[in-house]
Amino acid sequence: MNILILGSGGREHSLAWATLQNPKCDKLIVAPGNAGIAQIAECARLNIEDPGAVTEFAGENAIDLVIIGPEAPLAAGVADRLRESGILVFGPSAAAAQLESSKKFTKEICDAADAPQASWVAFNGPSGAHHYIEAVGAPIVVKADGLAAGKGVVVAMDEETAKAAVDEMFGGAFGEAGAEIVIEDFMQGEEASFFVLVDGETCLPIGTAQDHKRIGEGDTGPNTGGMGAYSPAPVMTDEVTQKALEEIVRPTMAEMARRGMPYQGVLYVGLMIENGQPRLVEYNVRFGDPECQVLMLRLGAQALDLMHACADGRLAEAQVTWAEDHAMTVVLAAEGYPGDYAKGTEIRGLDALPEDSFHMMFHAGTKAEGGKVLANGGRVLNATARGATLQEARDRAYRLVDAVDWPEGVHRRDIGWRALG
């Protein structure tokens, strides 16, 4: 099978790595890729948000399956165009991708599906939103309706912060994404991520994880795309997982199908769990980054079979083989991230690292130049490891971190604190 993966982050490096573990992969191209991906697969220059360009490229390269990593190509309709051309694709249609690209759409679908979530109101101007905040009080959550690169959600602990977020969103900070906003109740509890493959009909859970969104240890400082993750998430007991599947995921997917927008791809279910009861925080229509890295290390070669079955509508026949293992990834970021940071600093020591089914240094924002690996983004490397226990996975992941020679890099030392105490 010839496979094309779209994307350039640590998520896509881990997808490429897992794909290559499977002998069914004859050829792998990643567009655009990064320095780490280039060491294991062919990388191609391609505008991955252009449905016509991607479809033409897939046709020219006799691609059998396209795996779409990030949300932007999905929202742009890349999966739709590929399907129209008869090419198998792992990723939802633009209509179904509204589960991530419109918060209001998701809230309405979930209300119709009776899926437990925070109560909410949508606004298309600041004055109504301000009055609502004054009436309800803080803490309260303000969300830009559209895609805002992970920055469009403000959990405000006081009214002033909530009103400032409203003004920022309507002031154009997120462009069109902030033309409408959703304000919802603050939910107490513990957050976890649940990943489910859906082929339009069948829902197949493939794992759970917990992310660390803040830049600083002890979950302090500004939000990031994620500074580390581990899988499985202890709070996702069998009972909570079953409740999330039966009360949230299946009803939402049935409602999507009923509305003529069957969902096909991975559904990233962001949950808040309080007293054993899960409620939906958000859906994303892709794997999380860095959650994907820990899932791929745990799933290995079967990840390709599962994604293929999902794209092909065969999930009812598919099975996940669970190992009693744990995985952790620690993100190495450029100093200054998520604010301003330098690009082009050299990273040394990568060649000497172990890379096997227990250890992988996945690359995110890197590029190769003159035989060197240079930092080329905010989140740069993902030290990822697997073990029989979370402690073993953690020890291995931090040994990878400590073996990297990159003075301009920063990372958190407390990934996994919630699970490990």
The site for ligand GLY (CB under 6 A) is made up of 150, 211, 225-226, 284, 288-289, 291
* Closer residue to ligand GLY in complex, CB, 64/211: 211
Question: Are 216 and 413 in contact, with CB atoms under 8 Å apart?
Answer: no
Which of 12/289 has CB closer to ligand GLY? 289
Least distance to ligand GLY, CB of residue 346, Å: 27
In the complex, what is the shortest distance from the CB of residue 226 to ligand GLY, in angstroms, rounded to a whole number?
A: 3
CA-wise closest residue to 211 among 235, 238, 187, 188: 235
Shortest Cβ distance from residue 286 to ligand GLY (Å)?
8
| Least distance to ligand GLY, CB of residue 217, Å | 18
Residue nearest to ligand GLY (CB): 226
Q: Which is nearer to ligand GLY, 58 or 415 (CB)?
A: 415
Q: How far apart are CA 104 and CA 100, in angstroms?
A: 10
Q: Looking at beta carbons only, is 226 or 278 nearer to ligand GLY? A: 226
Closest distance to ligand GLY from the beta carbon of 181 (Å): 19
Nearest distance from C-beta of residue 219 to ligand GLY, angstroms: 14
By beta-carbon proximity to ligand GLY, the closer residue of 211 and 247 is 211
Using the minimum distance from each CB to ligand GLY, give the nearer residue, 211 or 408: 211
Residue number with CB closer to ligand GLY (18 or 63): 18
Q: Output the smallest distance, CB 152 to ligand GLY, in A.
A: 11
Residue 281: CB minimum distance to ligand GLY, A: 11
Least CB distance from residue 71 to ligand GLY, whole Å? 9
Using alpha carbons, list the distances in angstroms from residue 258 to 43, 93, 96, 104. 39, 15, 12, 18
Residues 6+ apart with CB under 8 A from 385: 297, 327, 328, 329, 358, 359, 360, 393, 394, 395, 396, 397, 399, 400
Region at 244 (left for phi over 0; alpha for psi -120 to 50; beta for the rest) = alpha
CB closer to ligand GLY out of 209 and 311: 209
For the four alpha carbons of 17, 39, 10 and 353, in that order, the dihedral sign comes to positive
Closest approach of ligand GLY to the CB of residue 294, in Å? 11
* CB of 101 or CB of 284, closer to ligand GLY: 284
Would you say 318 and 303 are in contact if contact means Cβ atoms under 8 Å apart?
Answer: no
- Name the residue nearer to ligand GLY (CB basis): 229 or 249: 229
